[in-house]
Structure 1
Amino acid sequence: MTQRTYIGATVEVAEGKPATLDAAGFGAMTGFAEVGEILEFGEIGDTSEDTTETTLKGRTLHVNGALDGGTCDFTFLVTGNTDAGQEILKAKSNSNDDVSVKITDPDGEVVYLHAKVANVRDRSRTASTAKGMTGQFRINSALVRVAP
């Protein structure tokens, strides 16, 4: 098995969400714009709530409960007002508008999701940090994977 890195991965965003939450629905969307100079795109994928019940015999039973896409942190370097992807993220921050995300990995796998954008703000200023912004996606769908 060959190990791979994420070098060369791209992240694109589009306003709205698809008519259907599957590969066909996301694939039919137009308006995806690449987020330039993305530095980090955090962990993605559902987690399940730990639902527990304790029996009278003193044993706690666990069941996987409701699924939650959680949040995903991102960081990008500011490239100016000509980066359509960055402009979408800034414009939709802390609104309740839906945004769809398309991640293309170097091996050709595509991952789609839809979310709300939150907390886009200036990155910490240090002597060795380039000007950038951070934010979060609050994910409201399962991941839709499309094999290469």
Structure 2
Amino acid sequence: MANAISYIGATIGCVVGVPATVDSAGFGALVYTTIGKIASFGEVGDTAADTTVDLLDGRIEHVNGAKDGGAVPFTIRADADDLGQPILKAQSNGNNEVSFRIVDPDGRISYFYGKVANVRDTERTSSNYKGFTGEVRVNSPTIRT
């Protein structure tokens, strides 16, 4: 049985644009800028619409329909010296596709692209840190290696 691993040490990078091919070779050919100080990066992967068929025999069949990568929320602690954070801020609520590479501590890599949206400052409270939140609206399948 494999040991559980945490995501401590995972890295996430981004680049404006899409790969020439939507596969590991295409995504792997891009040059990513690492995004620093990530506090959280949401669930990654497709969900499928539930298409149902009501049969005359009284059963309902379920068929997996259209795939959707959804919106992946992120929370980041501000770092004025970070090179990746300005990319997210500059692309927020625009229509450029941004490609992402996630490298997990066990070496597994996930790739996808989408539009960055809704980048906003974190809440200002006496016990909060300066940072920002946002989401990636995924427009490609998630490619895992």
Give the partner amino acid of 1:10. T
Matches of residues 16-27 of structure 1 in structure 2 within 5 Å?
16-27=17-28
* Aligned residue number for residue 144 of structure 1: 143
Paired residue for 2:113? 114
Q: Which residue is 2:61 aligned to?
A: 61
The one-letter amino acid paired with 1:77 is R
Structure 1 residue 56, shift from structure 2 partner: 3.6
Percent identity, aligned pairs only, is 52
1:74 is aligned to 2:42? no
Distance 2:17 2:33 in 1: 13
Paired position in structure 1 for 2:35: 35
Letter of the 1:112 counterpart: Y
Local SS of the residue matching 2:133 = strand
Matched residues in 2 for 1:28 and 1:3: separation?
Answer: 30
Return 5+ residue gaps in structure 1 as ranges: none
For 1:89 and 1:83, locate their aligned partners in 2 and report how far apart those are by CA, in whole Å: 11
Tell me the TM-score normalized by structure 1: 0.93
How far the C-alpha of 1:59 sits from its partner, in A, is 2.9
Q: How many residues align?
A: 144
Give the aligned partner of residue 3 of structure 2: 2
Q: Which residue of 1 aligns with 2:132?
A: 133
Superposed CA RMSD in Å reads: 1.1
Return 5+ residue gaps in structure 2 as ranges.
none
Q: CA deviation at 1:15?
A: 0.6
Whole-Å separation in 2 of the counterparts to 1:37 and 1:90: 14
Alignment of 1:85-100 (within 5 A): 85-100=84-99
Task: Report the counterpart of residue 14 of structure 2 in structure 1.
Answer: 13
